[in-house]
Structure 1
């Protein structure tokens, strides 16, 4: 009995493949559309896509074109070909601005951009593009049923940019480029004022400013004459120390912060006793 069932399944599969191959070679665009629609409904998106690709030019200007273009665009999305999917969905939205599929097509175009966003350690150009497209979608469809998901995706992308900026500051600190670390931390605080990484960023800024000050030369000649570079940097580090203590009274870094604060005070005390 099982042997018989296997034979039936094999025959159905062969017939299906034969029908598909025949449709690919056929010049009957209606037959291609019908089979493509059927394959799409079965979740066979790659096969449906090949059939759609053959007939898209032939259906331009025809009543069925709108449905075909949506199925064609979404087949790329389902195949995880997000760059092409985004491009095709945007074409669909531009070509059919009154379509009932306009909202979902616009959302999937933006989500395709989101899917192209790389891990935070890589260049974040695609992430910024995705953020812009998702925000544009929200602006165009503020009452959309996809609003919650769009906001969630934006939050994820924002945090990715935060992690990227934080990792840059941390890397500068690790390689002892303390001026760059301090500047990167300052930029981070301005760009991401409510970040969950704020505490770690302020600690890295303090640590960098402290090490920069402690290892500074005493005097530096400038256009305005000699300046006490070390003292100026110690005072800056002291400001960062005070800011950190005020913002994070229960931080896990408090022990290290206090050690830096004490060392800064000891160094500054030397200047107060000089005549």
Structure 2
């Protein structure tokens, strides 16, 4: 039994050594036909790393020949199988641009988009690469609207759009948290703009009701803390937001809070109007006194001129 096990180990080591020795010879070979066949063989066997190394050697030599098309397609797929998605995306796109009439062109363009999709990050990270993936998927869908992969491409775009939505919602929550700081003024304004933009970008989002409530809440606080000259405009804006909320979400669980905020804002607005009337009355009285003083001063000056 022990002898049999030892024999198997020796056989395994020998075969591995032979395989390594064979690949080492291929790396040094200039027999391009042999390299081409070996690269394809390693690819078919699933040894993608070795196939990439050999394709790197042989592709510049066979470029433009009948062998190049399959080699370049396998080369792109080998990178994909190794989960080198950025590289595979580039190689699949190059293949499509070079062989756009090939029977493999449709698959190459889809794999270009799919590679970018797989490389796109979670929603809490920078989404620039995800937008590149969306553009690539859209390119595929426009080029091959009848493709069997069209529905799959649509689901990929839907998934990426959800990531954009989650990313935007996290940014909205960040601005909202910052309104609790020492200098909330700028963040109130940023919240209002951000919440409105979110609703425009994602009109069907499950978060719109919550953000619409926060829009009323933030705008009311912003108006309350505004300087006198801006207060009336911002109080009216907050009331408009509350009325819009009630119209869009008549059965919302936030309804009571929204109505309380609107009532408080209307009370604040009425108080502001009274202060404004008092201010305008005092200003008119001060203007009247100043004009009277100016007339008296003019009359005094005129009398002095007559006496002189």
Q: Do they superpose with TM above 0.5?
A: yes
The C-alpha deviation readout for 1:47-86, integer Å capped at 9, x for no partner, is 1111111111011111111000000111111112222211
Unaligned runs of 5+ in 2: 180-186, 278-308
Contact kept? 1:170, 1:204, Cα under 8 Å: no
Q: Which residue of 2 aligns with 1:235?
A: 236
Shift in Å at residue 7 of structure 1?
A: 2.8
1:184 and 2:194 are equivalent in the alignment: yes
Q: Tell me, what secondary structure is at the counterpart of 2:113?
A: helix
Structure with higher Rg: it is: 2
Q: Distance in 2 between matches of 1:122 and 1:182?
A: 23
Q: Which residue of 2 aligns with 1:244?
A: 245
- Quick check: which one's helix share is greater? 2
Shift in Å at residue 273 of structure 1?
A: 6.2
Q: Distance in 1 between matches of 2:24 and 2:256?
A: 72
Q: Distance in 2 between matches of 1:208 and 1:271?
A: 19
Q: Which residue of 2 aligns with 1:206?
A: 216
Contact kept? 1:185, 1:202, Cα under 8 Å: yes
Contact kept? 1:36, 1:47, Cα under 8 Å: yes
The C-alpha deviation readout for 1:166-187, integer Å capped at 9, x for no partner, is 2222222211211111111112
Q: Which residue of 2 aligns with 1:58?
A: 61
Q: Tell me, what secondary structure is at the counterpart of 1:122?
A: coil
Q: Tell me, what secondary structure is at the counterpart of 1:56?
A: helix
Contact kept? 1:169, 1:182, Cα under 8 Å: no
Q: Which residue of 2 aligns with 1:162?
A: 165
Q: Which residue of 2 aligns with 1:224?
A: none
TM-score normalized by structure 2? 0.80
1:27 and 2:30 are equivalent in the alignment: yes
Q: How does 1:124-139 map to 2 (within 5 A)?
A: 124-139=127-142
Q: Distance in 2 between matches of 1:166 and 1:263?
A: 28
Q: Distance in 2 between matches of 1:12 and 1:251?
A: 71
Q: Distance in 1 between matches of 2:5 and 2:256?
A: 73
Shift in Å at residue 151 of structure 1?
A: 0.8
Contact kept? 1:77, 1:85, Cα under 8 Å: yes
Q: How does 1:70-109 map to 2 (within 5 A)?
A: 70-109=73-112
Alpha carbons of structure 1 residues 122 and 22: separation in structure 2 relative to 1, 3 Å: same
Q: Which has the higher contact order (CA 8 A, sep 6+)?
A: 1
1:10 and 2:13 are equivalent in the alignment: yes
Q: Distance in 2 between matches of 1:118 and 1:201?
A: 25
The C-alpha deviation readout for 1:182-234, integer Å capped at 9, x for no partner, is 111112222222223222322232222121012222x22xxxxxxxx222212
TM-score normalized by structure 1? 0.89
Q: Distance in 2 between matches of 1:213 and 1:21?
A: 75
Q: Which residue of 2 aligns with 1:195?
A: 205
Q: Distance in 2 between matches of 1:253 and 1:32?
A: 70
Q: Distance in 1 between matches of 2:198 and 2:139?
A: 25
